[in-house]
Amino acid sequence: MDPACWLCQHGAVPYHHGSLREALVEAGVQLAAESGPDAVVLREVSRRVGVSHNAAYRHFADRDALLHEVSARAMAAFGAVMAARVAATRQGPEPEAVAARLEATGRGYVQFAVEQPGLFRTACAFSLGDVAPHGDAPHPYAQLSAGLDAMVTAGLMTPARREGAEIAAWSAVHGFAVLVMEGPLAGVPEAQREAMLDVVLRVVREGL
């Protein structure tokens, strides 16, 4: 079947949309990106897709079901940004490379929060473990864990220090992200922000 809808840029809007569910989720992601999870509102989502505001009920039990789906997409985008940042970093098993990749994980975390605050908040809206990411990129937390495991394997961290390291690293990076995104550090110029992040990451690295 040919969807032939404006969303898919094929011409006229058909009565049967063909992929309304997907279109609704995408519009939801757009809204979340613009204004956070509270903006994912059934009526506005339907409006954007160009469909009556109750059509969504053919595809979602209620607003919450849609929001969960949107949150999963946000989480996937989050993981993808982090993974891309790690992939762009020096590969290989050498200690410097392993440490650089862990640092890239943290930088990717903050990058996503800064560039996509709405999606960041949407991804965090449900207890972070609640939502399985939709897509291929691993969950942010899994990436952090893997990075710390690699540190131990590379001999950069003792197994004793590994204990609780996720929490400490996550806390520092997440806290920085929140401060920069909506706290007192909102609006500081990028260069200064990067310098601050350097300090945070150094403290974490040396503390671990």
Partner DNA sequence: TGTACATCAGTGAACGCGCGTTCACTGATGTAC
Binding site for DNA (CB under 7 A): 1, 14-18, 20, 41-44, 51-55, 57-59, 62-64
Q: What is the maximal distance between C-alpha atoms in the chain?
A: 63
Q: Which is nearer to a copy of itself, 90 or 202 (CB)?
A: 202
Residue 55 CB, nearest approach to DNA (Å)? 4
Q: Is 163 left (phi over 0), alpha (psi -120 to 50) or beta?
A: beta
Closest approach of a copy of itself to the CB of residue 160, in Å: 11
- Nearest distance from C-beta of residue 38 to a copy of itself, angstroms: 9
Q: What are phi and psi of 178, to 5 degrees?
A: -65, -45
In sequence order, which ranges of 36-164 are alpha helices (DSSP H)?
A: 42-49, 63-87, 95-115, 117-125, 140-153, 159-162
Closest CB 32 distance from DNA, rounded Å: 13
Nearer to DNA, 22 or 166 (CB): 22
Among residues 2, 93, 127, 190, the one that binds a copy of itself under rule CB under 8 A: 127
Residue 165 sits in the site that holds a copy of itself (CB under 8 A)? yes
